[in-house]
């Protein structure tokens, strides 16, 4: 998209050359990176902007904590002017949808123009006056959408098609379903490399080779965990208790996908939804919409090849799909929201009124006990935390090391490629890696390789740096290293024994990551037991790499790319979510005689001697006789 010359915009093109020069001097050139905000809703207005290059997204918050998109602005547009006109706080938030270049006009400069160049001010004011009604109209329309349920024709068509597709596969056998899953999984695996490349190009985070592996695990690996299992109908029969379970699909699932993991999460959700005979509609983040389209088209081609209804898997395709997302989350025909992503997304899903399964942030503490296999622990941590440049939330985030093995452990870490920062290195590194106000990782650090981050922070070693480890003395809320770090960066705390280590791990999870994952390296089963009892975490891994353990690759956990955090983390389940979480289980229970008739409870129903007789017959396992006598007595008593 070509930049726009402001001097050519109406009515600024009416200004003389000298007036154009004056205007140019008062306008400050500014630029914003994609994804950053320009101004926030509710903030004081001290300026407006004229967009020269790029796209700006205007949003306003809804009661459900999600955001409505008011408009997308392109080059040549003025924005932020409404608050200058009505002298009220900002009515919406402006984000850089792409990298943008703009000119900023401060209100003080406008006041100066009133005295020095009123003709320029008149032209600017005319430009403001023409632009403002468009913005006000967008906000008025949005107010209507916020307060009334909106019928979106495109959404309604998608849902109608999804219902028909979902009904069509209800009669499919497990063998036919599994054959379909294999074709889908194989198709994604065949395109794993191109999809990984497209993802890194779109998001600018992560590692292509690791994403190839992840895409194959999410396709073929998940398929292997599902094949042969019962996804509908009678799935169990307890002959002893005479209870059998019948699985029924939920219906239409709305799946929300994270930016960090678009391909693997989408494929995983498609496979578990089809296994459980549900239809799926997916919503991808704006930055990964093209990647999402590639994934879903591959899946739909596989559906066609297997004579399955193509509308079984659908996705929101348009840039303005946030409105559709809001509608889908609250739609009566959506049975469940499967939300994998950031806290605001999950909160919006749980606030929608539709049943939801969400996830939470991780901040995995990893305790290295004195009896741990140091070589094994160091290698697993390097392999896990460096995978996909630290983007997997359940990887290790904090190392808690027993002082008795600290020296040897650090030595092995360095041998395996970790850079352990000195006090001087840490001081400068912290300014490079973290935001000043929020104590969060800067966007330029997230999902980048340790080697690239090391160059940014002037960290040098005579070996290839795979991981950056930062020693810390104290844990506190204002310590940026105490939080989730979506990069190949870990904190390292030293403790004197296992008891102190367990306490510190629990404290870390209380700061962030409650309910997700905790890891321990030890040979002592009693210590493992205590660790498991005390950790507020849904997954307790023992001697396992975090990334590989949480998804069931190096553990017996259910393979999954949606990991619940339970009520610890504000979620509805602690499960590694899989197809069984997308089923309604019905239980058929046959009549059987009471196993024990308490004399205190039934003294007004049966004579004392009869209760004793029935309990004796129960003890002798003469159940048929107990049933016959109790039924006959009940009939006589009712008469």
| Residues with active-site annotation | 393
Q: Are strands 67-73 and 515-521 parallel, antiparallel or unpaired?
A: unpaired
Read out DSSP for 42-58?
TPPP-EEEEEEES-EEE
Three-state SS at 240: coil
C-beta of residue 379 within 8 angstroms of C-beta of residue 416:
yes
C-beta of residue 315 within 8 angstroms of C-beta of residue 284:
yes
Instruction: Report the distance separating Cα 496 and Cα 499, nearest Å.
Output: 8
Cβ count near 506 (within 10 Å): 17
Question: By CB neighbour count within 10 A (0-12 exposed, 13-18 middle, 19+ buried), where does 9 fall?
Answer: middle
C-beta of residue 340 within 8 angstroms of C-beta of residue 258:
yes
C-beta of residue 251 within 8 angstroms of C-beta of residue 166:
yes
Helix locations, 276-372, DSSP H: 289-305, 322-330, 343-350
Angle CA(185)–CA(186)–CA(188) in degrees, nearest 5?
65
Q: Tokens in use for 197?
A: 């490349």
Q: Tokens in use for 191?
A: 């395109």
C-beta of residue 221 within 8 angstroms of C-beta of residue 189:
no
Q: Tokens in use for 196?
A: 């990984």
C-beta of residue 131 within 8 angstroms of C-beta of residue 74:
no
Query: Would you give the DSSP letter of residue 512?
Result: T
Read out DSSP for 611-638?
HHHHHHHHHTT-HHHHHHHHHHHHHHHH
Q: Which of 152, 162, 143, 146 is nearest to 324 (CA)?
A: 152
Instruction: Report the distance separating Cα 200 and Cα 291, nearest Å.
Output: 10
The H or E element that residue 216 is part of is helix 208-216
Which residues are within 8 A (CB) of 299 and not within 5 positions of it... i.e. 6 or more apart? Answer: 184, 187, 188, 267, 270, 313
Strands of the 279-283 sheet, one edge to the other: 313-315, 279-283, 252-256, 336-339, 356-358
Which three-class secondary structure string do you get for 357-410?
EECCCCCCEEEECCCCCHHHHHHHHHHHHHHHHHCCCCCCCEEEEECCCHHHHH
Instruction: Report the distance separating Cα 188 and Cα 156, nearest Å.
Output: 29
Read out DSSP for 70-111?
EEEE-TT-EES-HHHHH----SSEEEESS-EEEEEEEHHHHH
């Amino acid at each position: 998209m070509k930049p726009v010359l402001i001097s050519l915009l109406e009515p600024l093109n009416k200004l003389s050359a000298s007036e154009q020069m004056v205007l140019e001097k008062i306008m400050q050139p500014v630029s914003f990176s994609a994804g950053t905000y320009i101004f926030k809703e509710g903030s004081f207005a001290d300026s407006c902007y004229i967009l020269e290059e790029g796209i700006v997204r205007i949003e306003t918050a809804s009661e459900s904590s999600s955001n409505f998109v008011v408009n997308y602005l392109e080059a040549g547009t003025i924005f932020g002017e409404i608050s200058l006109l009505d002298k009220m706080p900002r009515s919406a938030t402006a984000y850089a949808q792409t990298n943008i270049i703009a000119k900023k006009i401060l209100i003080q400069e406008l006041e100066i123009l009133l005295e020095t160049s009123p003709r320029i001010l008149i032209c600017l004011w005319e430009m403001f006056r023409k632009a403002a009604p468009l913005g006000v109209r967008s906000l008025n329309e949005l107010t209507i959408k916020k307060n009334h349920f909106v019928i979106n024709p495109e959404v309604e068509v998608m849902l109608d098609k999804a219902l028909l597709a979902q009904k069509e596969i209800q009669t499919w056998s497990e063998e036919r379903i599994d054959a379909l899953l294999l074709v889908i999984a194989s198709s994604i695996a065949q395109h794993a490399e191109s999809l990984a490349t497209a993802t890194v190009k779109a998001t600018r985070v992560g590692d292509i080779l690791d994403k190839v592996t992840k895409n194959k695990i999410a396709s073929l690996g998940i398929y292997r965990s599902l094949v042969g299992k019962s996804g509908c109908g009678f799935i169990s029969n307890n002959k002893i208790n005479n209870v059998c379970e019948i699985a029924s699909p939920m219906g239409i699932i709305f799946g929300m996908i994270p930016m960090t993991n678009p391909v693997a999460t989408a494929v995983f959700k498609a496979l578990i939804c089809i296994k459980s005979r549900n239809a799926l509609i997916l919503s991808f983040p704006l930055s990964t919409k093209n990647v999402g389209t590639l994934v879903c088209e591959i899946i739909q081609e596989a559906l066609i090849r297997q004579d399955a209804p193509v509308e079984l898997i659908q996705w929101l395709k348009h840039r303005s799909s946030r409105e559709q997302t809001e509608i889908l989350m609250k739609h009566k025909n959506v049975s469940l929201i499967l939300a994998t992503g950031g806290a605001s997304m999950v909160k919006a899903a749980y606030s929608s009124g539709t049943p939801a399964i969400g996830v939470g942030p991780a901040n995995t503490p990893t305790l290295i006990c004195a009896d741990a296999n140091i070589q094994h622990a160091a290698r697993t941590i390097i392999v896990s935390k460096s995978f996909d440049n630290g983007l997997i939330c359940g990887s290790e985030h904090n190392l808690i090391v027993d002082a008795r093995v600290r020296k040897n452990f650090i030595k092995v870490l360095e041998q395996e490629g970790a850079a352990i920062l000195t006090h001087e290195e840490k001081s400068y590194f912290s300014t490079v890696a973290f935001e000043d106000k929020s104590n969060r990782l800067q966007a330029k650090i997230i999902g980048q390789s340790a080697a690239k981050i090391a160059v940014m922070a002037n960290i040098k070693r005579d070996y290839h740096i795979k991981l950056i480890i930062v020693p810390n003395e104290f844990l506190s809320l204002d310590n940026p290293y105490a939080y989730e770090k979506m990069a190949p960066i870990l904190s390292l705390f030293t403790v004197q024994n296992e008891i102190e280590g367990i306490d510190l791990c629990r404290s870390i999870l209380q700061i962030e990551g409650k309910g997700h994952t905790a890891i321990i390296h030890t040979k002592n089963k009693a210590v493992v037991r205590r660790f498991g009892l005390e950790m507020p975490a849904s997954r307790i891994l023992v001697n396992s790499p975090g990334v590989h353990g949480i998804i069931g690759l190096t553990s017996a956990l259910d393979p999954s790319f949606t990991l619940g955090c339970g009520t610890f983390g504000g979620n509805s389940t602690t499960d590694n979510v899989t197809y069984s979480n997308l089923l309604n289980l019905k239980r058929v229970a046959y009549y059987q005689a009471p196993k024990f008739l308490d004399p205190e409870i039934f003294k007004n129903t049966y004579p004392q001697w009869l209760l004793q007789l029935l309990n004796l017959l129960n003890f002798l396992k003469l159940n048929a006789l107990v049933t016959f006598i109790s039924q006959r007595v009940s009939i006589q008593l009712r008469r």
